[in-house]
A and B are shown apart, each in its own frame.
Chain A
Amino acid sequence: MNFPFLPERASTFSDQIDALGLVLTSLTIFFTAIVFALLLFFGIRYRRGSKVNRAKPQHHNLAMELTWSIIPLILGLAVFVAAMIPYTQIYNPPANAEEIFVIGKRWMWHIEHTNGIRENNEMHVPMGRPFKLTMISQDVIHGFYVPAFRIKRDAIPGRYNTVWFEATRPGKYHLFCTEYCGTNHSEMGGWVYVMTPGDYADWLKRGGTQGANDARVETAAEQGRELFTTLACSNCHGTQDTVRAPSLVGIYNRPRKLLSGQIVNADDEYLRGAIRKPEDHLLEGYGQVTTMPAYRDDQLTEEQVHNLIVYIKSLGGAAGSPVANGKGPRTAPISNSREGSLGRPAHVTSPGLGGSAAPTNGTTPPTGSTAPGTNGTTPANATPGQPSTAVELKSGAQTTSSPSAPTRNTGSTL
């Protein structure tokens, strides 16, 4: 049922928030009414010249003052608790939430589903399933707001923010930007389309709103894999850990031990940071090698970074809630007994790294897709600037011999 004073209720949060609103409105009306009534009553009854009993006026009354201090305090704290609980839910996505990636930029919202479908200023979702939005901005702070869902969170440049929802009613709902971002701030919005599961399936088959004319849309993971190859990430990041770089197989949402000894979780934020600022994310055992080059805004867009992350996630890892500090660093030594399906095992002089070998993965081999391999000596694409140069530098340097230079891990890709 929709009241004219309420937006539509289209998510699992809407009812809770509106109920909270009702409580707050009742309290507001109640106390306002009391105050207005008393002011009116006292003002009239005790107006100047009125003949009523004014004997023994009081100037203070500790009991009363404490009462009307403590009761509002208690009521307030009760409301605080009542409001806190849904808040923790709104910003705590369930483990099975599907991901949607959102980029805010002046002045549009760019939305990318993991199946590769991209939308501008529109988001099509099916009802009845939870979705987690991972959001970032490419320029200034924007705010992602769907009134009907009662959710909102800022999209900030430089880091991810998430929010989740589960839509409950089909329909078309406003999407607004709520953080002032310049001239066309009020036009930076669009629609969220909630569809029945059947309609959504049809929509997917059509390849999204873009229609059937487009070639098959690549999923985010596929796009990420392509990037991984063209940027020659695979030259260093093979199926197994090498002295040059750790493997990325099965690392998603697993603990990683940094050079400083700190243990962090390899979640989205971490991976993004590792791509953008690798020198801040050096792992233990990798302090002495050439640090991975950083990929700045002008080399990789946020969308590309996110696609890489989705690809890495597809290589396996821990689903669901990450373990924070529970597990120690993985310490299985790299050995020839590893049977990577594609890569040649690497030969490592590991003890020199202080006893704990470079972390390896202990999980399943990567999910099967074979990508064209690249020769580690050849920069595979024309990506300008650092990547090629760095690869060349590494490759070039590797040709000079050194007594204990590690064996190059060439051509191993995933």
Chain B
Amino acid sequence: MSATALPPAGLPASAGETKSTYLNWSYSVKDWLLTIDHKRIAVLYLISISIMFLLGGFAAMAIRVELTSPHGQLMTSEVYNKMFTMHGVLMVFFFLVPSIPATLGNFVIPLMIGAKDLAFPRLNLLSWYLYTIGGLMALAAMIMGGVDTGWTFYTPYSSVYSNTNVSLTLVGIFIAGFSSIATGINFIVTVHKMRAPGMTWFRLPLFIWAMYSTSVVIILGTPVVAITLALVVVERLLHLGIFNPALGGDPILFQHMFWFYSHPAVYIMILPSMGIISEIIACFSRKRVFGYSFIAFSSLAIGVFGFLVWGHHMFVTGQSMYTSMVFSALSFIVAVPSAIKVFNWTATMYKGQVWFTAPMIYALGFIGLFTVGGLTGLYLASLAMDVHLNMTYFVVAHFHFVMVGGATLGYLGGLHFWWPKITGRMYPEGWAKLAAAISFVGFNLTFLPQFIVGYLGMPRRYHYYPAEYQIWHVLSSAGASVLAIGYGIPVIYFLWSLKYGPKAGDNPWGAVGLEWMTSSPPPMENFHEIPVVTWEAYDYDSMTESEAQADRESMPGAGAAVRQEAARDAEEGHPETGHPAGD
């Protein structure tokens, strides 16, 4: 491979000057709250989303504490019902759906494709405000007495019978939905139109393919749930009968409309995470992802097929058997692209140079836990088995495996991976590995018993339960405590690293990718010069021998340091490197 294929290292500002980065060019509140810089907006989102995650997590802890006893001890059933609703609403709508797109997506996408910003920076800022307003409304509803319908808001309970703050919560979710739509529109246009010269579709990092597919799902699905929830509000406030059978409506129509979004929503939650895993596995195997095309197309396939399976949430509602069969068959089919990814990621490590950093541990954990989560989904896609397992703790375990063991683990892996780029600081690697291990153990202890207690018949959303299920709940709650520790530790060291973490170079991981070719943190305009891309994604093969050597022996980032030096020499036409001038 000729030397021109070598990605040039991003040149830092000349020595002696304080680098102007997106973080430090202004510290005023106005320049943060009115920013249109995608990187600052990503940081704003990171803060809001972390707060929502913590609140949803407190609700989870309340649930798990309460469930240690079959008779309840801390709260009445009303409060318990509000707790699990709050947990679901906050986690689904205000954490899982926006987390990766709005934080890591916003930050990384323009950098990865060599753009100065997203296509519509002001729309980006608007989306953060919409998220915040929607979130505040949902929180207000919870503070003012809560809502107890479950995050699925089934009618006619939610539209007629519940006397909690349903409407306020739904309006909050509605507004947050538009935040999501705005992000989706922004990403689609950005990926189509703002790629650097030479960055063809098949040179894109797989994270971009994943985010693109996610964005298409967002814009097609979210409006449907928005209008569905709006109709519930209208029905509640104006006493219409759209979903109320006493007035001629059909409660099952609500379920169809709701799940038409909410199933693709889970792919909105998992696809970005899968994109991150591709990035991490490639970087820490020092190897191009195996089967790039299959993974890229599988992201699209998941997005498309994800829209065709919503009825698998409704197998026991009394819908036609034939309808159920179609949805079941499609649900098995939609599992295949995910299986392809798992096998391809595993194959990427074959003959690679595997480096066990914290992001890599999160990524490996993802692959394992997502496999279990996905396979247990097949139990639920199986018609006769779903009759027994629907609405039991088996379902709860399944979706927590994919959402926590999958999406959240990917999010944490991505946060660790790009933390130096976002903040310019390294987090403490030892603590990170420890936290990853603790959360892995805690996670399994929390959710594996739930498969068992679900198969035994324990229903979901139960405050009181038969005593024979208690042992499983106690195990699960014990695991939850461990998991909480595993999540708490990164909060502490991430905050610590902002002030005390060692400064990170441009490319501490020695990764291939445009985002690593600019400084950490990047300047306002991302690149001093828009790069021209002439190399394939994950072009680790073109590392020279000396780089590879330094890499193997190293210190983080040593390979990159060597490469930077080589590039600088090349600029000056230094004959030693053997690279012609001007590379």
Do A and B touch (CB < 8 Å)?
A: yes
Interface residues of A (CB under 8 A from B): 5-7, 13, 16-17, 20-21, 24, 27-28, 31-32, 35-36, 38-39, 42-43, 46-49, 53-61, 64-65, 68-69, 72-73, 76-77, 79-80, 82-88, 90-92, 106, 139-141, 143, 145, 147-148, 150-154, 156-159, 161, 174, 176-187, 297
Q: How far is the CA of A157 from the CA of B460 in the complex (A)?
A: 21
Query: Chain B: which residue is nearest A56 at the CB level?
Result: B351
B321 within 8 A of A: yes
CB pair A79–B150 under 8 Å, yes or no, is no
In the complex, the 5 A-B pairs of residues with the closest C-beta atoms, listed nearest first: A147-B457, A158-B245, A83-B382, A87-B383, A86-B384
Q: Which of B344, B353, B385, B465 makes the CB contact (< 8 A) with A48?
A: B353
Interface residues on B, range: 35 or more
* Inter-chain residue pair count (beta carbon < 8 A): 268
CB pair A145–B457 under 8 Å, yes or no, is yes
CB pair A21–B356 under 8 Å, yes or no, is no
B290 within 8 A of A: yes
CB pair A141–B459 under 8 Å, yes or no, is no
CB pair A87–B387 under 8 Å, yes or no, is yes
Cβ proximity bits B309-348 to A, threshold 8 Å, 1 near / 0 not: 0000001111001001100110011011001101110110
CB pair B457–A174 under 8 Å, yes or no, is yes
Classify the secondary structure of B's interface with A.
Answer: helix
Spot the interface stretch: B367-375, B407-415, B432-440, B485-493.
B367-375
Distance from B50 Cβ to chain A, minimum over Cβ atoms (Å) = 29
Distance from A185 Cβ to chain B, minimum over Cβ atoms (Å) = 6
Known contacts A83-B328, A156-B318; A180 and B384 CB within 8 A of each other? no
CB pair B292–A59 under 8 Å, yes or no, is yes
Query: Chain A: which residue is nearest B70 at the CB level?
Result: A186
B234-256 interface with A by 8 A CB criterion: 245-246, 250-252
B293 within 8 A of A: yes
B161 within 8 A of A: yes
Q: How far is the CA of A220 from the CA of B335 in the complex (A)?
A: 49
What are 22 residue pairs bridging A and B, where the CB atoms are less than 8 Å apart in the complex?
A: A27-B375, A32-B371, A42-B346, A43-B354, A46-B352, A46-B354, A48-B551, A53-B351, A65-B340, A69-B336, A72-B339, A79-B378, A86-B384, A87-B321, A92-B321, A139-B156, A148-B457, A152-B387, A153-B318, A154-B318, A182-B148, A183-B81
CB pair A183–B78 under 8 Å, yes or no, is yes
B157 within 8 A of A: yes
Distance from A272 Cβ to chain B, minimum over Cβ atoms (Å) = 12
Distance from B224 Cβ to chain A, minimum over Cβ atoms (Å) = 21
Q: How far is the CA of A315 from the CA of B245 in the complex (A)?
A: 30
Q: How far is the CA of A132 from the CA of B371 in the complex (A)?
A: 39
B466 within 8 A of A: yes
Q: Which of B156, B382, B457 makes the CB contact (< 8 A) with A20?
A: B382
Contact residues in B for A61 (Cβ distance below 8 Å): 290-291
Q: Which of B286, B336, B459 makes the CB contact (< 8 A) with A145?
A: B459
Query: Chain B: which residue is nearest A144 at the CB level?
Result: B316
B120 within 8 A of A: no
Query: Chain B: which residue is nearest A72 at the CB level?
Result: B339
Known contacts A35-B367, A46-B353, A57-B350; A184 and B455 CB within 8 A of each other? no
Cβ proximity bits B162-194 to A, threshold 8 Å, 1 near / 0 not: 100000000000000000000000000000000
Query: Chain B: which residue is nearest A85 at the CB level?
Result: B384
Q: How far is the CA of A106 from the CA of B340 in the complex (A)?
A: 46
Query: Chain A: which residue is nearest B284 at the CB level?
Result: A48
Q: How far is the CA of A393 from the CA of B404 in the complex (A)?
A: 66
New A-B pairs, 4, CB < 8 Å, besides A43-B349, A86-B383, A186-B461: A24-B378, A82-B382, A83-B386, A185-B81
Q: How far is the CA of A53 from the CA of B464 in the complex (A)?
A: 59
B48 within 8 A of A: no
Q: How far is the CA of A73 from the CA of B333 in the complex (A)?
A: 7
Q: How far is the CA of A93 from the CA of B438 in the complex (A)?
A: 50
CB pair B156–A186 under 8 Å, yes or no, is no
CB pair B339–A184 under 8 Å, yes or no, is no
Contact residues in A for B378 (Cβ distance below 8 Å): 24, 27-28, 76, 79
Contact residues in B for A82 (Cβ distance below 8 Å): 382
Q: Which of A6, A72, A145, A156 makes the CB contact (< 8 A) with B251?
A: A156
Q: How far is the CA of A181 from the CA of B385 in the complex (A)?
A: 23
B130-156 interface with A by 8 A CB criterion: 148-150, 154, 156
CB pair B375–A57 under 8 Å, yes or no, is no
Distance from B402 Cβ to chain A, minimum over Cβ atoms (Å) = 13
Distance from B437 Cβ to chain A, minimum over Cβ atoms (Å) = 14
CB pair A159–B318 under 8 Å, yes or no, is yes
CB pair A143–B391 under 8 Å, yes or no, is yes
B268 within 8 A of A: no
Q: How far is the CA of A186 from the CA of B81 in the complex (A)?
A: 10
CB pair A35–B156 under 8 Å, yes or no, is no
CB pair A35–B371 under 8 Å, yes or no, is yes
CB pair A60–B372 under 8 Å, yes or no, is no
Distance from A77 Cβ to chain B, minimum over Cβ atoms (Å) = 6
Contact residues in B for A159 (Cβ distance below 8 Å): 245, 318
